[in-house]
Structure 1
Amino acid sequence: MSELTSTETKTILRITDCQLMHLRTLGKIAFEKRGGSFFYSLPNGHSALNHPLGNALLNWHKKKHDFPKTNEPIKQKSKLALERLLYEVLLPVNRSLGNPIITYGFTSFELKKHIQKSSPSGTAPTLDQHSSYEINSAGRQICSRGGAACDFYIEGLPTSNIVRFITQKLNYDRIYYYGNKRPLHVSIHLTDPLKHLQIMCESENGRRYPGKKAFGDQAIILAEGL
């Protein structure tokens, strides 16, 4: 199924309207017409990670960590999961609600080691899906859950609005909601999405702890009450 708008396709391929039209008329790009709009699949050799949101998924750490290496997925399954996170969550959110500002994205094994050494507080690499399907030095998957995850917010929009949109309309695995003025954590899974919404609470001394949770249709109801 074709999943990218004309604007998204032009941005990823770095081409003009005219060039996209020529690709379409020459049969060099797969597309569908829905109403008055075209939706595209990328040609072989191109990745949705070349979209600015894909770049943000990989390079989010540059403003936070003094990490000199590249933060690229090694496992092909990780790349597929990160692309699916774009297709199923970030791009639909961007079209409907506004630009997602990613505060925590993909975390390679090397970046994970750096963070665990320099600033591990609040991180849970074996659970949070930020390392996708990457493996550690012992050859074991860093996060047994797999999938892919990111934390983000939209400037000027309550986070609860984003949670309601995702639970009602999108295919997600897990959402962790920390409050209206904080980024949410959202993940996808390639095969078994749980559609799990977890509300996180904070004690008087600042310790976070899990509150209400729900799955599937019950998650939609829980999100309505935020």
Structure 2
Amino acid sequence: MSLAPCLQKVIKNEGASYVQAPFFLSTCKFMERYLTSNEIKSLLQLSNRELKHMRENGLLQFKKVKNRFLYFVPSTNSILNYSLGEQLINWHQKKHGSKISNSPHNVQTIRSLEKLVWDLLLPIERHFGKETVHVTYGFTSTELKRYISKYSSANTYPALDQHASYEKNAKDNSICSRGGAACDFYVLGMPSSDIVKFISKHLEYDRIYYYGADRPLHVSVNLNESTRHLQIMRVSEKGRRYPSKKAFGEAAIKLAKEL
């Protein structure tokens, strides 16, 4: 089963029109997750006036908590169109200077990438500050994997690293045996050790690979049961990466405190 990910939508109200394009269509009709006013404005490219109009005319589903409005993402849109989701998809343009299509085609892939934003990247951004999260290695489509394998394959492990999520190769076999979705990222001005401590204690994750306080962090989520696996990686004198200490669940929280 596949889902055409790129659509274009024009919304008109009271003489004003704005375009949301291209955007990913959510795989969920109803999500028990909310965005703040600033976040929903960023996602839908709305002004304060347009947001107020849509709320008052029943065009957006929301709830009010004390003095704050919290909004559902419309089923015709997706959190992947938020800035963090765009980083997951478009990261390769900056890293590789490539215009290769990097759109996910598998519904499970889209669900996993949405989960990665909702459950990890967005809570981290909310905790450490807007525009502090920078994705250095995100989703890898079949087309992009082929390009990377040819021109920049060092330290990549597509069969295990979850960057390809549920996408399939030309032989219709899953690229990664683990499913889920993953990205490498850093938080501006923060050592990665602090991010590991925050994630392991407060967030739901599948795997964390820690390469050092000054290196991007590799994190993943899974649609099935999460392993909550923290793996410390070291680098040999010859520059080769190798696994060091590891822990799972509550033990991972204790290991993170040692970093």
Instruction: Tell me if TM exceeds 0.5.
Output: yes
Which residue in the other structure is 2:35 paired with?
4
Using the alignment, how far apart are the partners of 1:191 and 1:6 within structure 2? 31
Deviation at 1:66, TM superposition (A): 4.4
Which 4+ stretches in 1 moved above 3 angstroms? none
1:210 aligns with 2:239: no
Which residue in the other structure is 1:94 paired with?
125
Paired residue secondary structure (1:107): coil
Contact 1:164 1:223 in 2 (8 A): yes
Using the alignment, how far apart are the partners of 1:190 and 1:31 within structure 2? 26
TM-score scaled by structure 1?
0.96
What amino acid maps onto 1:113 in structure 2?
A: R
Give per-residue Cα distances to partners, 1:143-174, cap 9 Å, x unaligned. Answer: 11111110000122111111111111111111
Q: Which moved further from structure 2: 101-110 or 64-73? A: 64-73
What amino acid maps onto 1:26 in structure 2?
A: N
Using the alignment, how far apart are the partners of 2:59 and 2:99 within structure 1? 38
Matches within 5 A, 1:125-136: 125-136=158-169
Q: Which moved further from structure 2: 130-139 or 35-44? A: 35-44
Which residue in the other structure is 2:218 paired with?
185
TM-score scaled by structure 2?
0.84
Matches within 5 A, 1:14-163: 14-98=45-129, 99-163=132-196
| Paired positions, count | 226
Contact 2:95 2:136 in 1 (8 A): no
Give per-residue Cα distances to partners, 1:5-56, cap 9 Å, x unaligned. Answer: 2111110111122322232233322223333322221112111111111111
What amino acid maps onto 2:256 in structure 1?
A: A
Asked which structure has the greater CA Rg, the reply is 2
What is the alpha-carbon root mean square deviation over aligned residues? Answer: 1.3
Using the alignment, how far apart are the partners of 1:174 and 1:35 within structure 2? 36
Q: Which moved further from structure 2: 101-110 or 202-211? A: 202-211
Using the alignment, how far apart are the partners of 2:238 and 2:67 within structure 1? 54
Using the alignment, how far apart are the partners of 1:155 and 1:225 within structure 2? 22
What amino acid maps onto 2:164 in structure 1?
A: S
Deviation at 1:97, TM superposition (A): 1.1
Percent sequence identity is 51
Structure 2's unaligned 5+ residue stretches are 1-31
